[in-house]
């Protein structure tokens, strides 16, 4: 009896005792990386030559003795400035003669209109006088235009690279007088091998720059312009042209040699790249990564799909989004729902 009472007292004491409190789990340190979209990039170097964005050979639309050349070779000339001029005397006489003929035609038309009102002449004679007057107006306008064409004016701010004729030479219409370059921007021309032209497009150009051997430690940005559609018969390369803005502090001229650097994306689309240390094998022979929730600091194991490993890491094709954070070191020590703190 005494033994039974003792046993009941022990059981009652055990039922009143509270269960032990759970031990709080320590927050584990882990190396965290933010996943960002990337592309496979490759930079190519080419020997380049500089050309003017626009080059024209200026000529007169009329002929005559060359009286003046105001632009010298190697000089920079402003827009609307005089470049060269023909002897204007013959054209000035043509304008004077046209004015006289126009005045006579005007007087003849006025006289015949009065006679017609007095029934002195027929209507056809007035019409002939009217046609002659209009013809003399056209001839006067042409004479004035020809006189204006004796002065060659710069169509843009340009650089005179060549002068073909000297003062005193009898110039024919359309004969080149000077060559003018527009140097507000410059063309950078490179020769690209056919295999690169076949596998890369202008949309895959990420960045491009040009350097000069006489300018140390400085490069200039350029942008894609156009691609010649036919290969050089000897080298089997294609000319690709980029545009660069003319540097204010350097006298870059057509014909100079340069080095062009073009960075090209080797993948058609962007993808996510993660290090191999972040990958966790799963029971179904797949791969997963620990994804960190920034608000709760808890990690969740998420299955992903990957592509062929690259030197820079493993491309993720599904399961992750750009901007998410994953654990890339210490992943094997984690469990679902565990809290982590990023290592600095």
DSSP string spanning 188-219? Answer: EEEEEEHHHHHH--GGGEEEEEEEETTEEEEE
- Using only the alpha carbons of the chain, give its radius of gyration: 43
pTM of the full structure: 0.60
pLDDT of residue 291: 93
Share of the chain above pLDDT 70, in %: 90
pLDDT of residue 4: 39
C-beta neighbour count of 238 within 10 angstroms: 19
Q: Report the run of H or E that residue 147 belongs to, with start and end.
A: helix 123-148
For the stretch 13-46, pLDDT in tens is 444 454 444 334 568 888 888 888 776 678 899 9
Tokens 């320590």 — which residue?
26
Which of 121-135, 137-151, 188-202, 304-318 shows the lowest mean pLDDT across its residues? Answer: 304-318
CATH-assigned architecture of domain 44-53+182-265: Beta Barrel (2.40)
pLDDT of residue 1: 43
For residue 20, give the 3-state DSSP assignment: coil
pLDDT of 174 above 80:
yes
Beta-strand relationship, 28-34 and 257-265: unpaired
pLDDT of residue 113: 93
pLDDT of residue 267: 60
Answer CATH for 88-149 from 3.40.50.2000, 3.90.79.10, 1.10.287.470, 3.40.190.10: 1.10.287.470
C-beta neighbour count of 282 within 10 angstroms: 12
Q: What is the spatial distance between Cα 110 and Cα 95, in angstroms, rounded to a whole number?
A: 23
* Residue-range domain boundaries for the chain: 28-38+270-342, 44-53+182-265, 88-149
C-beta neighbour count of 100 within 10 angstroms: 12
For the stretch 75-117, pLDDT in tens is 999 999 999 999 999 999 999 999 999 999 999 999 999 998 9
pLDDT of residue 6: 45
Mean pLDDT throughout 218-245? 91
pLDDT of residue 269: 57
User: What is the average pLDDT value for the chain, to the nearest integer?
Assistant: 87
Determine the CATH number of domain 28-38+270-342: 2.40.420.20
Pairs from 170-174 (Cβ < 8 Å, separation ≥ 24) = 170/63, 170/64, 170/65, 170/66, 171/59, 171/60, 171/63, 171/64, 171/65, 171/66, 171/86, 172/63, 173/59, 173/60, 173/61, 173/62, 173/63, 174/59, 174/60, 174/61
**DSSP designation for 27:** P
């Amino acid at each position: 009896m005494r033994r039974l009472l003792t046993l009941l007292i022990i059981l009652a004491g055990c039922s009143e005792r509270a269960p032990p409190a759970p031990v709080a789990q320590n927050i584990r340190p882990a190396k965290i990386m933010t996943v960002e979209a990337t592309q496979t990039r490759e930079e190519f170097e080419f020997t380049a030559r500089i050309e003017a964005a626009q080059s024209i050979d200026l000529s007169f639309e009329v002929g005559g003795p060359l009286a003046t050349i105001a632009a010298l070779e190697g000089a920079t000339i402003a827009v609307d400035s005089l470049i060269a001029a023909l002897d204007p005397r013959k054209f000035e006489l043509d304008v004077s003669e046209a004015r006289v003929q126009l005045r006579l035609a005007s007087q003849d038309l006025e006289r015949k209109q009065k006679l017609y009102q007095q029934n002195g002449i027929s209507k056809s004679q007035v019409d002939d006088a009217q046609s002659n007057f209009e013809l003399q107006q056209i001839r006067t306008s042409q004479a004035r235009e020809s006189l204006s064409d004796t002065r060659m004016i710069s169509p843009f701010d340009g650089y005179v690279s060549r002068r073909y004729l000297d003062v005193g030479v009898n110039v024919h219409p359309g004969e080149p007088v000077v060559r003018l370059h527009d140097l507000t921007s410059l063309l950078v021309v490179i020769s690209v091998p056919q295999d690169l032209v076949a596998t890369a497009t202008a949309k895959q150009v990420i960045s491009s720059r040009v350097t000069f051997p006489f300018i140390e430690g400085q490069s200039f940005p350029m942008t894609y312009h156009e691609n010649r559609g036919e290969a050089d018969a000897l080298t089997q390369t294609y000319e690709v042209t980029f545009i660069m803005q003319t540097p204010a502090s350097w006298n870059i001229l057509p014909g100079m040699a340069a080095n062009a650097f073009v960075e090209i994306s080797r993948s058609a689309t962007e993808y996510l790249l993660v290090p191999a240390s972040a990958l966790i094998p799963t029971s179904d022979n797949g791969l997963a990564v620990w994804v960190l929730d920034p608000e709760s600091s808890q990690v969740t194991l998420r299955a992903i799909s990957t592509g062929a490993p690259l030197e820079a890491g493993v491309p993720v094709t599904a399961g992750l989004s750009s901007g998410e954070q994953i654990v890339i070191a210490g992943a094997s020590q984690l469990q679902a729902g565990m809290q982590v703190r990023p290592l600095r």
